[in-house]
Amino acid sequence: MFLISTRNFPPDIGGIQNLMEGLSIALLNHGPVKVFADSFENSESYDQTSKLNIQRISGFKIFKKYRKANLVKEFINDNDLRAAFFDHWKSIENIDSSTLKKTKTFCLIHSKEINHPLGSLLNKRMLNALSKADLVIANSNFTKNLVTKLGFKNNNIKVINPGCNYPIKINDEAKKFAKTIYGDSFPKLITVSRLDGRKSHQNILMSFSFIEP
């Protein structure tokens, strides 16, 4: 059995949400998966159609994180887990080390969530939380280098670039709708990422000069 503790999960929308959903579903090929996730609008409908065993935690943020941590600790203590995965350093922060030693633990890191000034309270909390994991998984070399600069000296960092789902077959209705928006324009650039310099949108735009219509 596997455990997933996440602050970010569908039906909420975003890159981390998609990543955690994909990881959870992929783990189903290797055994049962228990997901502890924050509640979100329409989450009940999503959970009813999911193959995952999802437990939602709601309430005020300050109370929710401790209640969730207690539920995770109780589940680890009561079950023989193969591994536990945490989407954020705050998801593993309130789990005591003695409990985590009962299974293999993995904590994912993303640059936006770890970029706290060196020596700040949040930076110290982050470093202490990450030190509890058996393996820290960075989503890029940029993130790995950043967390090292921010004081994480452990060697247990692995870079795994996020994957993607198989392409969804586009039906005729969606194609017709896209036609009303884009017409015959070429080329077409669509992105759901933030307009952030490190996302390299500028490099994509520059490459258009080499494309012949």
- Cα–Cα distance, 11 to 184 (Å, whole number): 33
The residue that leads in pLDDT, 94 or 197, is 94
- Cα–Cα distance, 75 to 163 (Å, whole number): 29
Ordered by start, the domain boundaries in the chain are 2-159, 172-210
pLDDT in tens, 47-99: 999 999 999 999 888 888 999 999 999 999 999 999 999 999 999 999 999 99
State how far the alpha carbon of 78 is from the alpha carbons of 11, 147, 169, 208, in Å: 28, 33, 42, 56
DSSP string, 102-115: TSEEEEEE-HHHH-
Residue 26 has pLDDT above 60, yes or no: yes
What's the CATH number for 2-159? Answer: 3.40.50.2000
Residue 169 has pLDDT above 90, yes or no: no
* Host H or E run for residue 205: helix 201-207
